[in-house]
Structure 1
Amino acid sequence: MLVSNMATTLSGAGFFWAFLSMVTATLCCTGYYLPYWLHGTMLNATDVYFGTFRRCNYPRVDDDGAVVVVNECGRYTTLADVPSLSWQICAVVVGVGCGLLLLVGFTAIFACCISDVVSKGAARVGGVLQLLAGVLVAAGCALYPNGWNSREVMEACGQLSQAYKLGTCRISWSYYMSCIGAVLSIICFCLSFKATRGKSTIYTARV
């Protein structure tokens, strides 16, 4: 009796797609979580860093009424505490984009080891999700500078700081990681169309 065994495996481009998918997800998620998007200084030239929902080193009034800088990193308690509406939107859209990239990345890695995890159609859906994620991350990166006119940023970047105008601050490396991740997600989208081989039919004789 002839038995048809239909199997779908990743192509050579598919293995590269899986690897690049995880690299892209790692870059975006790391850039999103670490608060090194914007670098400024305040009291006594202390370095201050801002992310979308976290910051490092912030001023606090001590028991004597003096303003001191607390040298630690932390996140804002709620989304409403994030000092700019643009940053609040940025935190949400980039977070959603990172979640999509992680979902596709882990699925693609599993497909390297397990048959039939990703079909040709599923790979294309994954690519579309990566394209959507890239657009969300890129939109967040484009929107982030619109929040440079907030009070907290002006304290670290000077009164010349305005929307899309840095003042005395400079862009830091987490922001660049997120931007690179957004570009790579578009490359992943293109690779997803070549990620799988066509279904092959294997016939075996069974007595």
Structure 2
Amino acid sequence: MDRETEYNTELTKIYHTNYVRNSRAICVLWGIFTVCYAILNIVCFIQPQWIGDTGAGAAGFFGLYRYCLLSNNNEFSCQGDFFDSNKYLNKSFHAAAVLVGLSALLFLICCLCLLLFLFLNTATTLRICAWIQTLAAIFMFLGCVIFPNGWDNDIITGVCGNNNRIYDMGYCGIRWAYILAIVLIFDAAILAILAFVLAAKQAKLLPEVYKKLEKCKYEISL
């Protein structure tokens, strides 16, 4: 009986050690992906390569708050300032820039929240980050949806042709920054779901392991 109880105790300890090691490894990967996402979100936010010409009209490309047009000396001249509302092409671009900017800011806050692992339990920290990432995914989605609402601007018409209108870019095409923004919507949602799952596992399985340890210790004492 004693040998069997001792075996169960050791087995439970091994199970607990392996669980904690695997859980920490997944949390570390999740944290790395969160930091990478924040960097990509910032790149997507500041790049003006959301839509641009395809060679059919004038040369130029447009972002959330900056746009670049080909000048007379065959060089691109860029204009736009995120903090100056008068330099936005229209209100739709302004709203999209604010939403995508908030998404980037939320993920930066989420990166800072990783420090909470030092002060709070893992499950609580993961839940906080999961809700932040969920909100960031919603903001990114809204920004990508609202952005095409401003494609009927006169300056965009000069590059994309006279047949462009809301949600129709005419002769222009989607550039890599807009594609990246769409991909980041799903990435943020996946990171949030993973954080919720990890938090649930932390809250559910660890107490069961401790119960098994306590049960084995009680049997040993008898």
Q: TM-score, normalised by structure 1?
A: 0.76
Counterpart for residue 91 of structure 1: 97
Deviations 1:76-127 (A, max 9, x none): 371232111110100111101110011113433x56xx73366311211111
8 A Cα contact 1:97 1:133, kept in partner: yes
| Number of equivalenced pairs | 183
The alignment's C-alpha RMSD in Å is: 2.8
More helix by share: 2
Aligned match of 1:39 in 22, 47, 52?
52
1: CA distance between counterparts of 2:145 and 2:80? 21
Q: Which of 1 and 2 has greater Rg?
A: 2
Q: Secondary structure at the match of 1:73?
A: strand
Deviations 1:27-72 (A, max 9, x none): 2211111110011268x9653110001112255xxxxxxx776523
What is the aligned-residue identity percentage? 21
Q: TM-score, normalised by structure 2?
A: 0.72
8 A Cα contact 1:12 1:195, kept in partner: no
Counterpart for residue 40 of structure 2: 27
Q: Secondary structure at the match of 2:118?
A: coil
Q: How does 1:113-128 map to 2 (within 5 A)?
A: 115-116=118-119, 119-128=122-131
Residues 19 and 117 from structure 1, CA distance in 2 versus in 1: closer, same or farther, beyond 3 angstroms?
farther
1: CA distance between counterparts of 2:74 and 2:89? 18
8 A Cα contact 1:15 1:195, kept in partner: no
Counterpart for residue 77 of structure 2: 72
Aligned match of 1:133 in 129, 133, 136?
136
Q: State the AA in 1 paired with 2:113.
A: T
1:155 aligns with 2:158: yes
Of structures 1 and 2, the one scoring higher in RCO (CA 8 A, sep 6+) is 1
8 A Cα contact 2:38 2:107, kept in partner: yes
Q: State the AA in 2 paired with 1:147.
A: G
Q: State the AA in 2 paired with 1:120.
A: A
